[in-house]
């Protein structure tokens, strides 16, 4: 098996496994649990509404502080229906277009029946529009991130600085989304109720996708319109 497929730990209790079957073990926690897919490390904040939740981080990168080290294309090797939410920020664009459906099917698999996925990706239409309208160059800086300047090239192909530093291609971007294409991908994956959320970031799209009609508690938590 690949080293990256080893589950490193759950809630600071390192669990090493040599058997792919061990991925199927359920995560035993009390209270709601969010799986942060492609989270990088826990210093990167997730949405405030998860502040009292159990937070498990899954990432392919063995050098981060992931609780579960796994390629997210293999989420279906985890136990079914164990998470209340998936949080996935700036990760879905790291898969080839045809692999996105496998990753989203994995989200659907690990979520409880009333679970939801929260997704953030670069807004390719917003970036392209800005690029054309301003006449900027492809290597020009689009915005400043906490890690440094982000160019148009970085948004399209992945953060060049990080790809160069690590030498690994899982930091490269392999696909991109518009609001409509993200919504369609989530619907095709079986999410029955999908919202494209208002984003304060002009170069990002946020989406909330539910397997079934959101509960009153979820509507209140996420500030959704009544359905």
Ligand X SMILES: C[S@@+](CC[C@H](N)C(=O)[O-])C[C@H]1O[C@@H](n2cnc3c(N)ncnc32)[C@H](O)[C@@H]1O
Residues with Cβ within 8 Å of 22's Cβ and at least 6 positions away in sequence, in order, are 7, 15
CB 174 within 8 Å of CB 96 = yes
Shortest separation between residue 145's beta carbon and ligand X, angstroms: 9
- Binding piece for ligand X, criterion CB under 6 A, among 18-26, 54-62, 131-139, 191-199: 54-62
Q: Does 55 bind ligand X (CB under 6 A)?
A: no
Q: Does 176 bind ligand X (CB under 6 A)?
A: no
Candidates 6, 27, 40, 150; binder of ligand X (CB under 6 A) is 40
Q: How far apart are CA 55 and CA 222, in angstroms?
A: 17
User: Taking CB under 6 A as the rule, which mask of x and - marks residues 60-99 in contact with ligand X?
Assistant: xx---------xxx---------------xxx--x-----
Q: Does 34 bind ligand X (CB under 6 A)?
A: no
Shortest separation between residue 56's beta carbon and ligand X, angstroms: 13
Q: Does 177 bind ligand X (CB under 6 A)?
A: no
Nearest to 145 by CA among 131, 161, 125: 161
Nearest to 179 by CA among 205, 210, 155, 208: 205
Candidates 7, 23, 39, 191; binder of ligand X (CB under 6 A) is 39
Q: How far apart are CA 154 and CA 146, in angstroms?
A: 14
SS3 122: strand
Summarize as ranges the residues that interact with ligand X (CB under 6 A): 38-40, 44, 59-61, 71-73, 89-91, 94, 170
């Amino acid at each position: 098996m690949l080293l990256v497929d080893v589950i490193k730990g759950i809630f600071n209790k390192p669990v090493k496994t040599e058997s792919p079957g061990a991925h199927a073990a359920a995560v035993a926690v009390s209270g709601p649990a969010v799986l942060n897919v492609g989270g990088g490390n826990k210093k990167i904040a997730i949405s405030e509404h998860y502040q009292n939740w159990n937070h498990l981080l899954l990432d392919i990168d063995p050098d981060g502080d992931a609780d579960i080290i796994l390629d997210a294309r293999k989420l279906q090797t985890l136990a079914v229906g164990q998470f209340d939410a998936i949080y996935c920020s700036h990760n879905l664009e790291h898969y080839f277009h045809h692999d996105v459906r496998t990753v989203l099917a994995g989200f659907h698999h690990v979520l409880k029946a009333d679970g939801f996925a929260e997704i953030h990706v670069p807004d390719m239409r917003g970036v392209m529009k800005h690029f054309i309208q301003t006449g900027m160059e492809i290597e020009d800086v689009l915005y400043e991130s906490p890690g440094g300047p982000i160019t148009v090239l970085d948004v399209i192909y992945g953060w060049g600085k990080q790809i160069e530093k690590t030498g690994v291609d899982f930091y490269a971007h392999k696909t991109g989304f518009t609001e409509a294409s993200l919504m369609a991908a989530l619907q095709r994956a079986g999410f029955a109720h999908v919202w494209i959320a208002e984003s304060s970031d002009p170069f990002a799209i946020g989406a909330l996708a539910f397997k079934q009609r959101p509960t009153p508690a979820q509507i209140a938590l996420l500030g959704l319109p009544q359905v």
